[in-house]
């Protein structure tokens, strides 16, 4: 009789989208529905309000300490925020954000020896013009492109959640909470299933 497969550790490294709870559902989705003898343990390292500019400094306590086999990285919504701390600049410019994500990928691969998947952010329902003159969702797409570029440069998988989250039989408004940014319970379920599908491909 074959021995049990080693439990693989998956760290979800992100902001309030992860902190909201979909990583816990990922563990169930994968182990109960998709498990073919390769069980996973999911560590949620999502921190509300965290931009990649700050998160990259927290690699040791957020990622490495957990000895992950896989890290899912998703940031950007807070990097595009203007809080006055940098004058007329957001917390990270698009170019800086690409550098932050690239460094996070490098740390995960070289220091933690983990495989990496980068998630772009989903489409929001926010009608707000930022100080840059661009509307919120246009900036979400811009930062997604920078995350995709960082992933491509490193040769790791990028998943555009703006496209992946949509389902022909689910109204998009049902996937988001009342603030138009965070996930509803259904949105969290959809995220967990999409992530479980991605993990099967590793």
3-state secondary structure of 56: helix
Alpha carbon 79 to its chain centroid, in Å, reads: 13
Confidence at residue 11, expressed as pLDDT on a 0 to 100 scale? 98
Q: Tell me the pLDDT tens digit for each residue of 13-61.
A: 999 999 999 999 999 999 999 888 889 999 999 999 999 999 999 999 9
Do residues 18 and 73 make contact, with C-beta atoms less than 8 angstroms apart?
A: no
Using CA atoms, how far residue 149 sits from 76, 78, 119, 133, in Å, is 13, 19, 12, 23
Cα separation, 91 vs 121, whole angstroms: 17
Stretches where the chain sits below pLDDT 50 are 1-2
Instruction: Work out whether the CA dihedral 50, 71, 139, 173 comes out positive or negative.
Output: negative
The domains located in the chain, with CATH, are 8-200 (3.40.50.1110)
Q: Tell me the pLDDT tens digit for each residue of 37-46.
A: 889 999 999 9
Per-residue DSSP letter, 157: E
Confidence at residue 5, expressed as pLDDT on a 0 to 100 scale? 74
């Amino acid at each position: 009789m074959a021995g049990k497969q080693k439990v693989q550790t998956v760290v979800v490294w992100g902001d309030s989208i992860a902190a909201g709870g979909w990583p816990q559902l990922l563990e169930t989705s994968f182990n109960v529905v998709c498990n073919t003898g390769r069980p996973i343990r999911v560590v949620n390292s999502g921190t509300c309000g965290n931009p990649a500019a700050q998160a990259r400094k927290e690699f040791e306590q957020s990622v490495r300490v957990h000895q992950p086999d896989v890290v899912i990285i998703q940031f950007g919504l807070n990097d595009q925020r203007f809080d006055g701390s940098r004058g007329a600049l957001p917390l990270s410019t698009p170019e800086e954000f690409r550098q932050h994500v690239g460094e996070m990928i490098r740390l995960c691969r070289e220091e933690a020896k983990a495989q990496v998947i980068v998630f772009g952010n989903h489409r929001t329902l926010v009608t707000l013009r930022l100080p840059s003159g661009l509307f919120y969702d246009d900036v979400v797409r811009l930062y997604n492109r920078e995350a995709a570029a960082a992933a491509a440069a490193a040769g790791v998988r990028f998943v555009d959640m703006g496209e992946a989250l949509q389902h022909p039989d689910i109204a998009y408004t049902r996937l988001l909470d009342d603030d138009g940014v965070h996930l509803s319970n259904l949105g969290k379920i959809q995220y967990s299933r999409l992530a479980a599908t991605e993990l099967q491909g590793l």
